[in-house]
Structure 1
């Protein structure tokens, strides 16, 4: 397939990303300017939730917003359990796959107006989505505005002690495509420090199968 350049504002709408979701597997990467590749585990995203995912879902309470839901495995699992949940994603192919799997999803960025703002009980930022926008502090402020007072955010972090901001491009077997866009990686300690400065209260931290998670409580506005 010929690569089609993505809009800088919507890099995840590029055809190779959509093709990977339709196929259910990669290879797909985030390619840094220094040549380093961050693998995107499309096959896991398109499978049923694994033990690490279930450890997240078991901790959620109330109505759940999955930010950057991808192909929707978490939202679909919640729907099967009759738990109220909504996924949002900027990729039409991701939203379509979420809906096809039985989940509810909107084609929306977290930084756009969302339904029930200020009333969500839990929010998810898994699969590296704490990196959205390249500014975790701004993302935490936005999620705080979406959650109800005392609401829970569960974020998946890098397992190692990193705190970095950089630009990336999507890349597959045929090379890179689309425009560069900002991304971030933070480890558990870095996220905890950012959260405390932003008025969040860290309440839990755990790892499953090498994946690291942190749970944060939203403070009063």
Structure 2
């Protein structure tokens, strides 16, 4: 994440209104209230698919990291925004301020890598992101990933964050639909073992061959 994008995300965590600008200049205010709240029933249904030690990639303000810890998992949140990590720590989670491509603790030994709240889009290269997740996982480990609903096309786009007229540099992002996750996972060497609807949200479970 670029410095200005990270700063704008941090300002959103501090209560300022930050909009994400997509193709065609579409604008959507970042849903910080959804990310700052405690885990709800749908979140816990996602977390029920996590097995063993779990790394929450792009943990944001840490609602899922904290909920995993409360459920008894050995859990680590990772985020490129220092304010997000600080928020996770304040709510009782364990987290690191680090880029996901940096060396991370326990590489090759995690049971689950968690990608929710659209984090399959990080970097605009879902195949490359899932390949990175594979390097974190033990044999037989899994990626629990939130995807778009069936019928939504998978695509890569360029986004910006706008906070009070201060625009970040454009950065790549991807959206992955339920219909496309099996093929994308296969390209990364992961097999789709389950696809679930949890309320209005969709969850795919991808596993590393044992």
| TM-score, with length taken from structure 2 | 0.92
1:165 to 147, 156, 160: 156
Counterpart selection for 2:114 from 124, 137, 141: 124
Compared with structure 1, are the counterparts of its residues 176 and 190 closer, same or farther at alpha carbon in structure 2 (3 Å cutoff)? farther
* Alpha carbons of structure 1 residues 10 and 129: separation in structure 2 relative to 1, 3 Å: farther
- Contact 1:133–1:139 under 8 Å retained in 2: yes
Residue 82 of structure 2 is matched in structure 1 by: 92
| Unmatched 5+ stretches in structure 2 | none
Cα RMSD between the aligned structures? 1.7
Offset at residue 11 of structure 1 (A): 4.9
Which residue of structure 2 lines up, in the alignment, with residue 17 of structure 1? 9
Q: TM-score, normalising length from structure 1?
A: 0.88
Pairwise CA distance, 1:128 = 0.3
User: Residue by residue, what CA displacement relative to the aligned partner does 1:102-159 show, whole Å, maximum 9, x if unpaired?
Assistant: 0000001211111110000001110000000000010011001111111010111122
Q: Please give the secondary structure, in 2, of the residue aligned with 1:34.
A: helix
Distance in 1 (CA, whole Å) between partners of 2:71 and 2:201 is 24
Displacement after TM superposition at 1:28 (Å): 3.4
How far does residue 12 in structure 1 lie from its aligned partner after superposition? Answer: 4.1
* Cα-to-partner distance string for 1:37-84 (whole Å, 9 max, x where unaligned): 355321111011112210111111110000000000011112223321
Counterparts in 2 of 1:88 and 1:102: CA distance versus 1, 3 Å: same
- Report the equivalent of 2:177: 187
Asked if 1:110 is matched to 2:100, the reply is yes
CA contact (8 A) 2:5 2:160 kept: no
How many pairs were matched up?
A: 209
Partner of 1:78: 68
Secondary structure of residue in 2 paired with 1:60: coil
* SS of equivalent residue, structure 1 residue 189: coil
- Equivalence for 2:125: 135
